[in-house]
Amino acid sequence: MTRLTIASVAATSLLAGAAFAETEITWWHAMGGALGETVNEVANKFNASQDEYKITPVFKGTYEETLTAGIAAFRAGEQPNVLQVFDAGAATVIGAKGATIAVQDLLEQNGADFSIDDYISGVRYFYADSDGKMIGMPFNSSSPVMYYNVDALEKAGVTPPQTWEEFQSTTAPALKDAGYVALSQSHLPWIFTENFHSRHDLPFATGDNGYEGGDTKILVNNDAIKAHFTAVTDWQDNGYFEWFGTGWGDNQTPFEEGKVAIWLGSSGSFGGLSKLDLPFEFSATYLPYWEAVTTEPKQTFIGGAALFAMAGKDDAENKATAAFFDFMASPETQVFWHKDTGYVPITEAAYEMAKADGYYEEQPAAEIGIKQLSLPAGEHTKGYRMGFYVQIRDVMNREYGRILTGETSVDDAFNNIEAEANKLLERFAKTQG
Amino acid sequence: MKRAGFATKWLPITLLLPQLIIIAVFFYWPAAHAIHSSLYLQDPFGFGSTFVGAENYSDLAGNSEYRRIAWFTVVFTILVTFFSLAIALLLAVKADKVIRGARSYRTLLMWVYAVAPPVAGFIGLIMFNQSWGPLTRFFQSLGWDFKLGVNYMDTATAMVIVSVWKQIPVNFIFFLSGLQSIPRSVREAALIDNRSASGRFWDVTFPLLAPTAFFLLIINITYSLFETFGVIDTLVKGEPGNNPMTLVYKVYVDGFRGNDMGGSSAQSVVLMVLVLALTVFQFRLVERRIHYT
């Protein structure tokens, strides 16, 4: 053991000596726990793949904390080369012209091949600007999917519902009779609001869902979503649905405990759920839709986070960052990341590679997220771009909590969300000076 | 009283200067900066900003959610301060009478003082866990369907309980040493004059404890307003949703989570004014009634 350690220390220092001229870059991320270890492994693979560059990943806390740390560092001129920014922070970082270098520009300037069409269609534009230029490279991309307890559904004698009508009339009553809470779901703003709009191809904000910038107004106060939330409260009254709190895990835990039969979560939860060794078999399928709203359900878009190249670095470091992005987008890296975590592979090539490996024959549920992202696109399915969106989500979470605890009516809640969100959007427009 | 004097006025100023510089750099400069940035709406990265005057303040005044949070903060502060002082005083009075095993009893009570607020919050999360928390089970056995994180009042109750639990030990230490510094002879005299224990306590002991109690009152109000941040953050898991929060937590939510620098600065300024008013009120009105011996 000791000899081995000495040998490896010697080997490491030899390597360090040999790679004296390498360019060092840093990467701030928000991936804790098991995900953080996978991040370190990805960084090690990059460092081992060549000897010109060295990347150091640094864990900075939650998504919000990482973004705030990145902003503070940028203002002090100490920013990292690569910053991970989550979906709700996209408008903040993309709106600040000069804070980042567009990934597309960075790759093209440094001689890497880049074509946005190589990326899966639900992934392509979420972190792009209004001209369709990719600003941030999607990294841990996920989409909401429906997980279900196979044993519970068999016991109740039902199949996973495709529509909410089916859930309401058939699946939920049968599951209730079989002794389960039929449904719980994490992150109401993400699944039951943002992706609800894309699944039904409904506009979510003016100005092309906010991508055009400037004077954006949210369009969340519409009949389709109000009918949905009214149905959710009915399900709750009938014992088909239970809400366990705002935190992500609050609603995932009862599914893991076998109390809840169907859980709406993230395709990125797949890796974690598989590693848990649950006492029942689980699988996943598409997010249901309302047949009353559309008979042609559309794709959803990605959540999760993207990697941004921070501005203000010298050419050598930018070259290293470009090499890192190129490495990240490679099919091999994507497939490794996809299999280990459950996040979707971001390019068509990586998806093909995972398919060719026969991965989805073993794990069909792992393919659902990417299949759903590849469904036909609609006019309003590529996502949204709104400033102060973290606060807008906080307003939604608050009002949804009030609906589900009976403190407010669906109509009042959506009037409030619309009014407060528009106020925040108006304020954000002013920050752009 | 004899006053010490200096021959020139420059010597005392020179001696005070390091302290004044520290106060200016670390207290007044950031405060001035907060006031300045509360008048702007600025891009988090610092690329653009718009002067909006008092708009950030008028937004707060017109925001019903902000008023609700302010109201909760007031109730929360009163409850936490009252219960942590009352329970600590009761425990201190009892501990003061204990002769056998007094040392271990006191040590056990003081022990919780070492627990950091986020750790206290985490213990609260365990105690109030929705499916298996012992306190949740206890409340359920009383017929109260307690749901942390779902029901506003239940979460508020958990916040108060955890915050009080965390603060009792420090109050206990101060009350106990206050009690032990009351001269024996005074108590003996009281014993002769007044046979009722509660009468002796309220007429003799409590007034002598008043300086300690006044000091603790200020400390506890400050604690409830500011230091409970860690407890609240842990109990709501960083996702406030429809759960109650205090004004300080709201500053964090808007500034550090939401990157709304102007709005968050305006809220900090409101808090500064509040603390200033509280301090003036306490020292002008309350302290006059306290007699230091």
Chain B residue closest in CA terms to A70:
B45
For residue B157, pLDDT beyond 90: yes
Cα atoms in the Cβ-side hemisphere of radius 13 Å centred on B145: 4
CA–CA distance, A373 with A382 (Å, rounded to integer): 10
| A83 bridge partner residues | A28, A308
User: HSE of A158 in the Cβ direction (CA atoms, 13 Å)?
Assistant: 25
Backbone angles phi, psi at B4, to 5 degrees: -80, 140
**Which chain A residues are closer than 8 Å to B245 by Cβ?**
none
Ramachandran assignment for A208, one of left (phi > 0), alpha (psi -120 to 50 degrees), beta (any other):
left
Predicted confidence band at B101 (pLDDT cuts at 50, 70, 90)? Answer: confident
Nearest by CB: B259 against A68, A246, A249: A68
B260 contact residues in A (CB cutoff 8 A): 388, 391, 424, 427
Chain B CB contacts of A259 under 8 Å are 131
Say what the pLDDT of residue A20 is.
55
Span B216-220, average pLDDT: 91
- Chain A hits for B121, Cβ within 8 Å: none
Q: Mark which residues 233-292 of A lie under 8 Å from B by CB.
A: 243-250, 253-254, 257, 259
**Partner residues linked to A263 by β-bridges:** A147, A184
Cα atoms in the Cβ-side hemisphere of radius 13 Å centred on A381:
22
Q: Taking a C-beta distance cutoff of 8 angstroms, is the pair A31, A61 a contact?
A: no
pLDDT at A303: 87
Residue A308 near residue A393 (C-beta atoms within 8 A): no
The interface pTM score, or ipTM, of the predicted complex is 0.88
Report CB contact under 8 Å: B241, A423.
no
Sign of the Cα torsion A81, A82, A86, A88 reads positive
| Mean model confidence pLDDT for chain B | 89
Q: Could you tell me the CA-to-CA distances from A418 to A311, A380, A408 in Å, in that order?
A: 35, 19, 15
| Residue A22 confidence (pLDDT) | 86
CA distance A253 to A230: 25
Q: Which residue among B45, B149, B238 places its CB closest to the CB of A96?
A: B45
Return d(Cα A433, Cα A431) in angstroms, integer. Answer: 5
pLDDT of residue B256: 87
Nearest residue in B to A417, CA atom: B65
User: Tokens in use for B35?
Assistant: 């006031």
Distance CA A210, CA A18 (A): 50
With cut-offs at 50, 70 and 90, classify the pLDDT of residue B1.
low
- Contact check, Cβ <8 Å, A423/B59: yes
The vertex-B8 CA angle with B3 and B12, nearest 5°, equals 70
Q: In whole angstroms, what is the distance from residue A7 CA to residue A5 CA?
A: 5
Residues in Cβ contact with B291 at an 8 Å cutoff, skipping those fewer than 6 apart: B207, B210, B211
Residues of A in contact with B47 (CB under 8 A): 96-99, 433
**What is the per-residue pLDDT for A1?**
41
pLDDT of B262 above 80: yes
Residue of chain A with shortest Cα separation from B234: A247
Residue type, A144: P
A61: left (phi over 0), alpha (psi -120 to 50) or beta: left
**A87 Cβ contact partners less than 8 Å away, ≥ 6 residues apart:** A126, A190, A302, A303, A304, A305, A383
Distance CA B116, CA B138 (A): 25
Residue in B with minimal Cα distance to A403: B242
All residues of chain B having their beta carbon less than 8 Å from the beta carbon of residue A193 are: none
Give chain B positions within 8 Å (CB) of A62. 238
- Other CB atoms within 10 A of residue B58 CB: 12
Whether residue A74 lies within 8 A of chain B, CB to CB, comes out as: yes
Give helix A410-431 / helix A389-404 axis angle, nearest 10°: 170
Q: How far is A254 from chain B (nearest CA, A)?
A: 9
DSSP state of B66: H
Give the confidence band of B3 by pLDDT, cuts at 50, 70, 90.
low
Chain A's closest residue to B148, CA to CA, is A245
- Return the exposure string of B120-139: e unless at least 16 CB atoms fall within 10 Å of the residue's CB, then b: bbbbbbebbebeebebbeeb
Query: pLDDT at position B199, please?
Result: 86
Candidates A75, A388, A399; nearest CB to B45? A75
Q: Which of B235, B236, B239, B253 to mutate to test the interface with A (most CBs of A within 10 A)?
A: B239
Q: Measure the CA–CA gap between A257 and B212, rounded to whole angstroms.
A: 51
Helix (H) or strand (E) segment spanning residue B234: helix B229-235
Which residues lie below 8 Å from residue A117, measured CB to CB, with a gap of 6+?
A124
Is A346 within 8 Å of A120 (Cβ atoms)? yes
Nearest to A92 among B131, B242, B259 (CB): B259
**DSSP code at position B226:** I
CB atoms within 10 A of CB B260: 26
Per the DSSP assignment, residues forming a β-bridge with A54 are: A24
Residue A122 CA to residue A118 CA, distance in Å, equals 12
Tell me how far CA of residue B251 lies from CA of A164, A171, B25, B78, B265, in angstroms: 39, 44, 22, 20, 8
> Are B257 and A390 a contacting pair at CB < 8 A?
yes
pLDDT at site A277: 86
Average pLDDT over residues B36-49: 90
- Whole-model pTM: value is 0.90
CA distance B251 to A17: 49
Q: Indicate the residue type of A264.
A: L
> Helices B152-180 and B102-111: crossing angle, nearest 10°?
140
HSE at residue A371, side-chain half, CA atoms within 13 A, is 13
Nearest CA in chain A to B236: A247
CB atoms within 10 A of CB A24: 11
Residue ranges in chain A whose pLDDT is less than 50: 1-4, 9-11, 13-19
Residue A90 and residue A382 in contact, taking contact as beta carbons nearer than 8 Å: no
Secondary structure of residue B22 in the 3-state scheme:
helix
| Neighboring chain A residues of B263 at a CB cutoff of 8 Å | 427
What spatial distance separates the first Cα and last Cα of chain B, rounded to whole Å?
16
- What pLDDT was estimated at residue A96? 87
Distance in angstroms (rounded) separating the CA atoms of residues B213 and A299? 64
Eight-class DSSP state of B181? T
Report d(CA A423, CA B260) in Å as an integer: 13
The torsion of the CA quartet A252, A253, A258, A261, rounded to 10 degrees, works out to -20
Residues A238 and A323: their CA atoms lie apart, in Å, by 55
Question: Within an 8 Å CB–CB cutoff, is residue A415 touching chain B?
Answer: no
Kindly report, residue by residue over B125-139, the tens digit of the pLDDT: 999 998 889 999 999
**φ, ψ at B165 (rounded to 5°):** -55, -40
| Per-residue pLDDT tens over the stretch A372-407 | 999 999 999 989 999 999 999 999 999 999 999 999
Of B47, B150, B258, which has the smallest distance from its Cβ to A96's Cβ?
B47
- Cα torsion angle, A335, A341, A347, A348, sign: positive
* Separation between Cα atoms, residue B235 and residue A4, nearest integer Å: 46
**A215/A209 Cα distance (integer angstroms):** 11
Structure tokens at B42: 């600025």
Interface A-B: count of C-beta contacts within 8 A: 130
